[in-house]
């Protein structure tokens, strides 16, 4: 057994002084570890679970105009995904959920990491997002109209190995001509997606900005609402009642608004993001007031939202919008893992996977302590 000794363990279970024993990629002891084979002294440092980013796009690289990706080959986009994996891991992200890629890019990224071809975070991938014809993300999505087509599209992703199903319940910021608030897939259509997912035992995610689209997806039994920028009190209440998780992706909106047209982002996208950001404070207020469950997700890959930084920025945004440091830790570790259906990730407990970070600061004192990253341990191996 190897061990990290002398450090302070911090996770959603609390704070304690403990050594952490690691064997075959798993945590096998939390407490005093006697005579380990190999020992790393982390006295004065803090051991936390690796970060779980519940919303990324591995094939996107943070370029200002996402539409230019359509002219690139699947081969080039796969190399971009490989670079994204390495950047995310280097920033302390040990699990990602890819919510939409072209072809089989994200699904094969999951396999490449599993087989040890690439060093990277564990990948849970949706394959292609299910979208209405001409709707948000149609350039890369699987277009489907009507319950029967959505059922077929959902089952295609499952057959290809998807670990989550993603759909678009409203328009989006980055698709030209799509109204951010406009309803896209209907409740009846989304119900087919959640039914297919539930038969396969995988979670579901809906991109939804406006309250009506959020409501449609929640009534269809969706596991998480992505973005949710125009969430109102009624939508927040329904989400809290049903246990639907919110993935806020603050870094996506800020990446667009803070850089703007001068940086090359299409004017229409900037306008829509600015309008969304105006409503976003209220969305947070409603979510916090009703106690909506939150998981950390960045939408990394969207404009100026780079894989090597997105999660660290998102943690700071979540705290700025009112989440306590304890809740930020929880949203970015065990609650994110639970949303992904992973029951052995996100805590420092015996039997859990040894995805760990060693920090120089305490993230329960200061949200920026997540940036003071000394080591990244993935599956029991020090990768940084
Ligand atoms: Zn996205």
Using only C-alpha atoms, what is the Rg of the chain?
20
Give the 3-state secondary structure of residue 120. Answer: coil
How far is ligand 1, taken at its centre, from the CA of residue 173, in Å? Answer: 10
pLDDT value at position 367? Answer: 97
| Confidence check: pLDDT of 178 > 90 | no
- Are 301 and 57 spatial neighbours (Cβ–Cβ below 8 Å)? yes
pLDDT value at position 110? Answer: 98
How far is ligand 1, taken at its centre, from the CA of residue 27, in Å? Answer: 32
pLDDT value at position 176? Answer: 81
* 51-339 classified as CATH 3.20.20.140: yes
How far is ligand 1, taken at its centre, from the CA of residue 317, in Å? Answer: 17
How far is ligand 1, taken at its centre, from the CA of residue 273, in Å? Answer: 14
Banded pLDDT at 173 (limits 50, 70, 90): confident
How far is ligand 1, taken at its centre, from the CA of residue 31, in Å? Answer: 40
How far is ligand 1, taken at its centre, from the CA of residue 380, in Å? Answer: 30
Banded pLDDT at 180 (limits 50, 70, 90): confident
How far is ligand 1, taken at its centre, from the CA of residue 99, in Å? Answer: 6
What span, in angstroms and rounded, lies between the C-alpha atoms of 192 and 321? Answer: 34
How far is ligand 1, taken at its centre, from the CA of residue 3, in Å? Answer: 38
How far is ligand 1, taken at its centre, from the CA of residue 275, in Å? Answer: 18
pLDDT one-digit tens code per residue, 19-78: 999 999 999 999 999 889 999 999 999 999 999 999 999 999 999 999 999 999 999 999
How far is ligand 1, taken at its centre, from the CA of residue 54, in Å? Answer: 10
Cβ of 351: how many Cβ atoms within 10 Å?
10
pLDDT value at position 162? Answer: 98
How far is ligand 1, taken at its centre, from the CA of residue 37, in Å? Answer: 43
How far is ligand 1, taken at its centre, from the CA of residue 228, in Å? Answer: 12
Cβ of 151: how many Cβ atoms within 10 Å?
18
Give the 3-state secondary structure of residue 253. Answer: helix
pLDDT one-digit tens code per residue, 265-315: 999 999 999 999 999 999 999 999 999 999 999 999 999 999 999 999 999
How far is ligand 1, taken at its centre, from the CA of residue 355, in Å? Answer: 24
Query: Whole-number mean pLDDT of the chain?
Result: 96
Residue in 55, 130, 110 with CA at minimum distance from that of residue 331: 55
pLDDT value at position 190? Answer: 98
How far is ligand 1, taken at its centre, from the CA of residue 254, in Å? Answer: 14
Domain map (residue ranges) of the chain: 2-48+346-382, 51-339
Residue in 256, 220, 223, 219 with CA at minimum distance from that of residue 235: 219
How far is ligand 1, taken at its centre, from the CA of residue 55, in Å? Answer: 6
| Confidence check: pLDDT of 378 > 90 | yes
pTM score, whole prediction:
0.98
pLDDT value at position 64? Answer: 96
How far is ligand 1, taken at its centre, from the CA of residue 268, in Å? Answer: 17
Lookup: tokens for 174 = 């980055």
pLDDT value at position 332? Answer: 98
Cβ of 243: how many Cβ atoms within 10 Å?
10
* 2-48+346-382 classified as CATH 2.30.40.10: yes
pLDDT value at position 199? Answer: 97
Beta strands, E only, the chain: 2-5, 8-11, 14-17, 19-23, 26-31, 38-41, 46-49, 51-56, 93-98, 122-125, 130-131, 142-143, 165-168, 204-210, 224-230, 245-247, 356-359, 373-378, 381-382
How far is ligand 1, taken at its centre, from the CA of residue 56, in Å? Answer: 6
pLDDT value at position 181? Answer: 80
Tokens 């850089």 -> residue: 259
């Amino acid at each position: 057994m190897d061990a990290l000794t002398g450090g302070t363990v911090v996770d959603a279970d609390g704070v304690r002084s403990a050594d952490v024993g690691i064997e075959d990629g798993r945590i096998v002891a939390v407490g005093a570890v006697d005579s380990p084979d190999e020992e790393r002294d982390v006295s004065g440092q803090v051991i936390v679970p690796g970060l779980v980013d519940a919303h990324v796009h591995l094939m996107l690289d943070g370029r200002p105009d996402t539409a230019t990706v359509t002219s690139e080959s699947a081969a080039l986009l796969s190399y971009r995904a490989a670079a994204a994996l390495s950047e995310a891991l280097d920033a302390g992200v040990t699990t990602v959920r890819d919510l939409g890629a072209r072809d089989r890019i994200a699904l094969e990224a999951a396999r490449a990491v599993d087989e040890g071809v690439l060093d990277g975070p564990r990948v849970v991938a949706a394959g292609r997002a299910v979208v209405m014809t001409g709707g948000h993300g149609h350039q890369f999505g699987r277009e489907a109209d009507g319950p029967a087509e959505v059922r077929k599209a959902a089952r295609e992703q499952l057959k290809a190995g998807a670990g989550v199903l993603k759909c678009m319940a409203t328009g989006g910021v980055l698709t030209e001509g799509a109204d951010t608030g406009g309803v896209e897939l209907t409740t009846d259509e989304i119900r087919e997606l959640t039914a297919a997912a539930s038969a396969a035992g995988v979670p579901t995610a809906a991109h939804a900005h406006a309250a009506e689209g959020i409501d449609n997806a929640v009534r269809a039994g969706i596991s998480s609402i992505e973005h949710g920028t125009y969430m109102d009190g009624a939508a927040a209440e329904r989400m809290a009642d049903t246990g639907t998780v919110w993935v806020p992706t603050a870094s996506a909106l800020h990446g667009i608004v803070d850089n703007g047209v001068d940086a090359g982002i299409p004017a229409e996208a900037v306008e829509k993001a600015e309008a969304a950001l105006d409503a976003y404070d209220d969305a947070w207020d409603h979510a916090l007031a009703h106690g909506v469950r939150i998981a950390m997700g960045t939408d990394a890959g969207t404009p100026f939202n780079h894989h090597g930084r997105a999660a660290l920025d998102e943690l700071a945004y979540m705290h700025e919008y009112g989440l306590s440091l304890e809740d930020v830790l929880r949203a970015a570790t065990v609650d994110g893992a639970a949303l992904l259906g992973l029951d052995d990730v996100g805590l420092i407990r015996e039997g859990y996977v040894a995805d760990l970070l060693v920090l120089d600061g305490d993230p329960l004192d200061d949200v920026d302590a997540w940036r003071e990253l000394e080591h990244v341990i993935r599956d029991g191996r020090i990768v940084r």
